[in-house]
Amino acid sequence: MRLAIMALILAAMVLLFPGCSGHRYTQTIKITAEPLNVSGLHTKIEYYRDAELVISIHFLDGNGDGIIDGKSGPKDEGNWPEGWEWFDDLYKDVVAGQSTITITGEKVKLQDGISYEFLVGEYECERVK
């Protein structure tokens, strides 16, 4: 009897609150710093949703002098997941030919008046939409 009552309550909750069950997807931020040419550096920041690339930023120090020689990224802002929106500011603040980039261990530091520091790695979270 108790089991039947609990089943009815559960069924009623599912019918009354359908918004509680949504599409779940995985979000991943992947930050890498790889050698480029002989002494250069290629830093990538990528955002994946359900393993599909949504947006990315690339910074290049082609000759290893610590100056960012080139960058590429999104044309529009606002595609980063909640809590990671500051990557839009980072991309705007970095100026090719002027901003510096250094890597110490797993920590990447970009600077041009404003300093940004982050760790190389993969950051995951789940979200209910």
Q: What is the pLDDT of residues 4-50, one digit of tens each?
A: 555 455 544 444 444 445 677 889 999 999 999 889 999 999 999 99
Domain extent, residue 63, equals 23-128
Flag whether 89 is in a domain: yes
Tell me the mean pLDDT in the region 73-95. 90
Using pLDDT thresholds of 50, 70 and 90, give the confidence band for residue 95. Answer: very high
* 5 assigned to some structural domain: no
pLDDT of 123: 92
pLDDT at 46: 97
- For residue 124, give both structure tokens: 């995951």
* Count of domains observed in the chain: 1
| Closest among 100, 104, 103 to 115, alpha carbons compared | 100
Does residue 51 fall inside a structural domain?
A: yes
Residue at 1 is within a domain: no
Report the sign of the C-alpha dihedral through residues 119, 121, 127, 129, in that order: positive
Name the pTM for this structure. Answer: 0.78
